[in-house]
């Protein structure tokens, strides 16, 4: 350890639930990170829309509305603003300036990740986004690294906690579907635009990123056959229960085609599963993913797939990884 070495300068863009948690943990765990990294990780600033709004645990001097200026003085830029712009422009600015980039921006990576990967390679910097897919569940690392010597056959999972909360409420508590959707909304479990969750778009973004990583094929959201849960009725749930089944919104991707012309099929759709199926056992907001590889066989990963603090755990691991490259 060499705490006297030049610190790695970290800029956090955005102070929503995830950004605030990341900034706070960078400060409270500073000694731990210095020890793990061998040099300090210094939070040089947090870009926010309104610097006058008080933020618990964050020195107001760290806050800035000059996002581009903050990006210019960081070794690692952590984009947690969400949305396509200005997030993408700031990431590009960071890469061109030679900074490492970490993001949890699922929609940006699903839609424009291929181009950003190309730019990262051109600039010789890293682009890490473990937190963009299922928060702290380390599914990207497993697909990319733990199975680096294997051949993945398929990936399937319950990857959206909000819809799972709704489906679980209907299946296990006998609540009507409409009422379950209302309760999820009241609890703040649905996005401002609830169709993101209910129509399966959130699940589609996650599975497309996983499929791209697993097979190195440049698939896009347009390759996903998506069916959400809004078309379901109480009769569907009644019928499923009658057959001893449980309806889950399942995102899946699997290899097809030949080894000469490899293809990937990707789908998001409600599926009636046997009650003892691993995916059927996902309760409330839990996320579960099963990765099946030729040698490893099926690996199951389960945990909290959302939440500010949980997502921050994955972002912080990516920040340490990025900092090692500085």
Q: Choose between 232 and 319: whose C-beta lies nearer to a second copy.
A: 319
Active site residue 206: yes
Check if the beta carbon of residue 157 is closer than 8 Å to that of residue 211. Answer: no
**Which residues pair with residue 234 across a beta bridge?**
none
Residue closer to a second copy, measured from CB, 117 or 236: 117
Residue 118 DSSP code: H
DSSP labels, 264-281? EEEEEEEEEEETTSTTTT
Contact status: 118 vs a second copy (CB under 8 A): no
Q: Looking at beta carbons only, is 26 or 267 nearer to a second copy?
A: 26
| Residue 112 in the binding site for a second copy (CB under 8 A) | no
Torsion of CA 74, 306, 126, 323, to 10 degrees: 50
Should residue 309 be labelled a site residue for a second copy when binding is judged by CB under 8 A? yes
Among 32, 68, 121, 243, binds a second copy (CB under 8 A): 32
- Cβ neighbors of 39 (< 8 A, separation 6 or more) are 2, 3, 5, 6, 7, 8
Which stretch in 46-54, 130-138, 153-161, 206-214 sits in contact with a second copy by CB under 8 A?
130-138
Tokens for 310, please give them.
């949980």
Displacement of CA 207 from its chain's centroid (Å): 10
Q: Which of 20, 25, 180, 204 binds a second copy (CB under 8 A)?
A: 25
The interface region with a second copy, picked from 88-96, 192-200, 224-232, 316-324 by CB under 8 A, is 316-324
Residue among 33 and 189 whose Cβ is closer to a second copy:
33
E strands present in the chain: 8-13, 41-47, 63-64, 76-79, 100-103, 127-128, 152-158, 224-226, 245-257, 262-274, 286-293, 297-304
Q: Does 277 bind a second copy (CB under 8 A)?
A: no
Nearer to a second copy, 51 or 317 (CB): 317
**Closest approach of a second copy to the CB of residue 304, in Å:** 5
Does 297 help bind a second copy (rule: CB under 8 A)?
Answer: yes
Is 52 among the residues that bind a second copy (CB under 8 A)?
no
Measure the CA–CA gap between 162 and 185, rounded to whole angstroms: 9
DSSP string, 11-23: EEE--SHHHHHHH
| Interacting positions 132-161 with a second copy (CB under 8 A) | 135-138, 141-142, 145-151
Catalytic residue among 106, 206, 245, 248: 206
For 237, counting Cβ atoms within 10 Å of its Cβ (0-12 exposed, 13-18 middle, 19+ buried), the class is buried
Give residues in contact with a second copy (CB under 8 A).
Answer: 21, 25, 29, 32-33, 36, 130, 135-138, 141-142, 145-151, 281, 293, 295-304, 307, 309-310, 312-321
Residues catalogued as catalytic: 206
């Amino acid at each position: 350890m060499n705490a006297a070495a030049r610190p790695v300068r970290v800029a956090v863009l955005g102070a929503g639930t995830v950004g605030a948690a990341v900034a706070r943990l960078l400060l409270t765990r500073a000694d731990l990170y210095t020890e793990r990294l061998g040099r300090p990780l210094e939070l040089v600033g947090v870009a926010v829309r309104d610097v006058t709004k008080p933020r618990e645990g964050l020195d107001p001097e760290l806050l800035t509305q000059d996002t581009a200026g903050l990006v210019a003085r960081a070794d690692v830029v952590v984009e947690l603003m969400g949305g396509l712009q200005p997030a993408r422009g700031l990431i590009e600015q960071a890469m061109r300036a030679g900074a490492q980039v970490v993001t949890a921006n699922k929609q940006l990576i699903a839609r424009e990740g291929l181009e950003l990967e190309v730019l990262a390679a051109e600039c010789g910097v890293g682009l890490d986004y473990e937190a963009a897919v299922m928060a702290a569940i380390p599914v990207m690392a497993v697909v990319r690294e733990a199975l680096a010597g294997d051949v993945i056959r398929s990936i399937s999972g319950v990857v959206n906690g909000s819809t799972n909360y709704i489906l679980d409420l209907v299946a296990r508590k006998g609540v009507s579907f409409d009422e379950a959707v209302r309760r999820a909304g009241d609890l703040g479990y649905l996005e401002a635009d609830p169709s993101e969750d209910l129509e399966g778009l959130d699940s589609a973004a996650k599975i497309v990123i996983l499929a791209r990583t697993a097979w190195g094929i440049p698939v896009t959201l347009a390759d996903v056959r998506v069916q959400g849960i809004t078309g379901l009725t109480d009769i569907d749930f009644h019928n499923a229960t009658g057959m001893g089944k449980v309806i889950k919104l399942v995102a899946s991707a699997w290899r097809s085609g030949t080894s000469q012309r490899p293809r990937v099929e990707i789908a998001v759709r409600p599926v009636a599963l046997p009650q003892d199926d691993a995916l059927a056992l996902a309760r409330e907001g839990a996320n579960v993913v099963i990765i099946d590889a030729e040698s490893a066989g099926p690996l199951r990963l389960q945990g909290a797939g959302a939440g500010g603090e949980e997502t921050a755990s994955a972002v912080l691991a990516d920040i340490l990884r990025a900092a090692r490259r500085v």
